[in-house]
Amino acid sequence: ETVPLEMHKVRVVQKLNLPPIEARLAAATEAGNNTFLLQNKDVFMDMLTDSGVNAMSDQQVAAMMVADDSYAGSATYTRLEAKLRDLFGMHWILPTHQGRACENILAQVLVTPGSIVPMNYHFTTTKAHIVLNGGSVEEIICEKGLQVTSSEPFKGDMDVAALERLVAEHGAEKIAFVRIEAGTNLIGGQPVSLANMAEVRAVCDRHGLTLVYDASLMADNLYFLKQREDACKDLSIREITRRIADLCDIIYFSARKLGCARGGAICIRDEQMYQKMRGLVPLYEGFLTYGGMSVREIEALTVGLEETMDEDMISQGPIFIEYMVNELDRRGIPVITPAGGLGCHIDVMRFLDHVPQAQYSAGALASALYIVSGIRGMERGTLSEQRNPDGTEPLANMELVRLALPRRVFTLSQVKYAIDRIDWLYQNRALVGGLKFVEEPEILRFFYGRLAPV
Ligand code: F0G
């Protein structure tokens, strides 16, 4: 049995509370059974997300102390720009306040009414921006990607034949851009292979299409490439990063996940493309040398990007996630396999097979898990979808409760506590019923909608 080993030591700590179960039930009810609406003081292990909550290194904190605080021409920004050019080999950089801000700019510039954006899988904010600009998303994940239990190493791969078919059917001029998401968020943090990216690139070359890479979850994906793809075994993480970048026209990312701070950036190969996007940065983000980030965040991000090239650093998420997934699997608890990045994903269609999808089974399980453990996870299923324009409810391909493992935050004994509580809930799953909306916002309803037991 392999036990994950922390390749760091803890030097700054934050006290946690574990409120009694009666208080947790009251807090869940108060929050409309939506884990986004819980107060963190009522949460023991916050596994909602890995966004903006990864641990910082001593080097990052130190760099924050020497930031150059100027509105224009900050040396801090120059350091970030140089690091991104160095890692991705793309010259033109635009800073933003976070990942969805990149998506806003990309969609405003590239998406026209009636255009299509093929992608391995959508992310909530990505899709919302594309739809807002009159486009639509075509998910062309490979067949193995939606098989919940599997031993496939690269379930995030795109179906290249389906991409060819889309181009043949609609014509290349209808395709706004092709998007590959590293570590596919909504289907279990599953990685994309380099070989698949090269095939997608070849299709883009044949038809003159722009290839955009969402690198928000790239750190995990890099580790999986090194571990799982033969062609990457003898490459350094830095070399793999460059191989990926060389296949892309544009790379954007949420620095809340990559680089471990706040912010985001768009890296662009072509100057003309950069010129088209540049004007939107001062309009929505801030001046071109901070883009809505504070200089301290930018310094931490620059160091964090370099630390992402360290295999001992990027292994921490995947090996802790693998431990958790394998321990749950061993107990017969339905989880997405193989273990991916981001976190552990519970397969709620099997966990709560008595609760229909239309009763938001994954939302119900997320709320129940909080009540029995003080652990906050996130619903990733039908509740996270948007209603169709005609008001009908699109049932999600997967109903998941995502238990994110913010990198280098939780210890192994905390992970064991989570496993123990999930096991208890699985043994007592008949206690959990469905939910219905009592307050349903129109846009991104999962963030602040309120629900009650049916
Ligand atoms: N792309 C991916 C793949 C993401 O996972 C996220 C955020 C974004 C874009 C948007 O970036 O939050 O900085 O605006 N994912 C977070 C999560 C919200 O919890 O999974 P953002």
In the reported structure, the alpha carbon of residue 131 is separated from the centroid of ligand 1 by a whole-number distance in angstroms of 17
Does 124 participate in catalysis according to the annotation?
yes
Catalytic residue flag (residue 177): no
Per-residue confidence of the chain (454 residues) as pLDDT tens digits?
A: 679 999 999 999 999 999 999 999 999 999 999 999 999 999 999 999 999 999 999 999 999 999 999 999 999 999 999 999 999 999 999 999 999 999 999 999 999 999 999 999 999 999 999 999 999 999 999 999 999 999 999 999 999 999 999 999 999 999 999 999 999 999 999 999 999 999 999 999 999 999 999 999 999 999 999 999 999 999 999 999 999 999 999 999 999 999 988 999 999 999 999 999 999 999 999 999 999 999 999 999 999 999 999 999 999 999 999 999 999 999 999 999 999 999 999 999 999 999 999 999 999 999 999 999 999 999 999 999 989 889 999 999 999 999 999 999 999 999 999 999 999 999 999 999 999 999 999 888 999 999 999 9
Burial of 393 (0-12, 13-18, 19+ CB in 10 A): middle
For position 260, what pLDDT does the model report? 80
In the residue annotation, 144 being an active-site residue is answered as: no
Contact call for residues 401 and 380 (beta carbons, < 8 A):
yes
Residue 375 pairs in a beta bridge with 45
In this structure, the residues whose C-beta lies within 6 A of any atom of ligand 1 are: 49, 51, 98-100, 123, 125-126, 181, 185, 214, 216-217, 254, 256-257, 264
Q: How far is Cα 416 from Cα 414, in angstroms, rounded to an integer? A: 5
The ranges of the chain annotated as CATH 3.90.1150.10 are: 21-50+313-453
**Residue ranges, CATH 3.40.640.10, the chain:** 58-311
CB 368 within 8 A of CB 27: no
**What residues contact residue 129 under an 8 Å CB cut-off, 6+ apart?**
100, 103, 104, 106, 107, 111
Cis amide prior to 20 (ω within 30 degrees): no
Q: In what order do the strands lie in the sheet with 250-254?
A: 92-96, 264-268, 250-254, 211-214, 178-181, 116-119, 136-139
Euclidean distance between CA atoms 273 and 409, whole angstroms: 39
Ligand 1 atom closest to the Cα of residue 49 is 19
pLDDT of residue 386: 87
Using DSSP's 3-state secondary structure scheme, residue 439 falls into: strand
CATH of 21-50+313-453, one of 1.20.1250.20, 3.30.1330.60, 3.40.1190.20, 3.90.1150.10: 3.90.1150.10
- DSSP reduced 3-state for 340: coil
The residue nearest atom 4 of ligand 1, judged by CA position, is 216
- Exactly one of 77, 121, 370, 446 is catalytic; name it: 446
- Is 88 within 8 Å of 281 (Cβ atoms)? no
Catalytic residue among 46, 157, 159, 214: 214
- 257 part of the active site: yes
User: Which of these CATH numbers, 2.40.160.40, 3.10.350.10, 3.10.180.10, 3.40.640.10, describes 58-311?
Assistant: 3.40.640.10
Ligand 1, atom 9, lies closest to the CA of: 99
Which DSSP string corresponds to 298-325? HHHHHHHHHHTT-HHHHTHHHHHHHHHH
216 C-alpha to ligand 1 centroid (Å): 7
Q: Identify the residue whose tokens are 């990063």.
A: 241
Active site residue 35: no
C-alpha distance from residue 373 to each of 27, 182, 368, 379 (Å): 13, 31, 9, 16
Count of CA atoms in the C-beta half-sphere (13 A) of 326: 11
Pocket probe mutation, ligand 1, options 103, 257, 345, max atoms within 8 Å of Cβ: 257
- Active site includes 71? yes
Ligand 1 center to 185 CA (angstroms):
8
| Cβ proximity of 155 and 184 under 8 Å | yes
Ligand 1 center to 49 CA (angstroms): 9
| Mutate which of 50, 98, 123, 181 for ligand 1 pocket (most atoms within 8 A of beta carbon) | 123
Top mutation candidate among 49, 125, 446 for ligand 1, by most atoms within 8 Å of CB: 125
Rounded Cα gap, residues 170 and 267, in angstroms = 28
- Picking from 50, 44, 33, 147, the residue whose alpha carbon sits closest to that of residue 379 is 33
Cα separation, 153 vs 193, in Å, equals 8
Whole-prediction pTM value?
0.96
Beta bridge partner(s), residue 88: none
What is the SS3 string spanning 323-345? HHHHHHHHCCCCECCCCCCCEEE
Say if CB 336 and CB 149 are below 8 A apart.
yes
